[in-house]
Amino acid sequence: MSLEITSLNVGGIRAAMRKGMGSWLRANSPDVLCLQEVRAPAEVLDPFLPGRDNHQSVCRIKGRAGVAVSSLLPVSAVREGLPGLEPLDTHTGRWLETDLTLADGQMLTVVSAYVHSGEVGTERQEHKLAFLEAMTKRLAELKGGAGATASAKGGAENTADGSDRAERQVVVCGDFNVAHREADLKNWRGNQKNAGFLPQERAALTGWFEDLGWVDVGRQLAGEREGPYTWWSWRGKAFDNDTGWRIDYQIATPGLAAKAVDFRIDKPERYDGRWTDHAPFAVVYDLPGYQPGG
């Protein structure tokens, strides 16, 4: 048995569906789908994802951000927002934690995250760095088992089973808007002073992996090579020349990362087949996934 988790920045669910996301959904039905930049409320998203347990964090500014977790497995608890970021992260639609019940009764925590894109010298970059700092603190809690039944401040929890999160498996999926290493973007030399490849941004990810013990599942499975990229600019020949960035991640606790057995990046064959500037990033874990009728 296996569990497939896919992370995807849709760039607006309405536009993505209009351009062809529906065909991809019909061909791919991951057990868990983590979305970023949904830019729509539940009444818009849910009809696109029928028969699934859908949960969202919607941005208070209409048409901005928004993250979601759509699961074929039952969701027992939901926590919205990052602690310590109020009022900055009050309903900004960038962080959503869900506790899922696997087919064998195990618990799995899945997070959908959307880090700010940032821009050097602007308030947007200040918000991005603050978000990364708060994310570091929350990752330490999730990794260490703290806050197993506590709702994140500013958010709401549906239920709590009282189990110790230290025994749980956790994966954080999303568009982090940071290329961690030189291998993670084609033109790294020309982007060393640009948001997305700044030293302080990359240092945050290094801390997650080296200090906190989280595992970059994409890099673990892909090995030491360039890319594979998950985002390409709409402009110029970036897509055709594969001049991309690897900014979409699944980072997992070590026990869960050890169960990652395969990955897939669904990059379209042609530019005119694109329905988002990202590509779906799927990871298969050696875990009991959705079983129809189970």
Query: Which active-site residues does the annotation give?
Result: 175
Q: Are 147 and 155 contacting, i.e. CB atoms less than 8 angstroms apart?
A: no
Main-chain phi, psi angles of 104, to 5 degrees: -95, 10
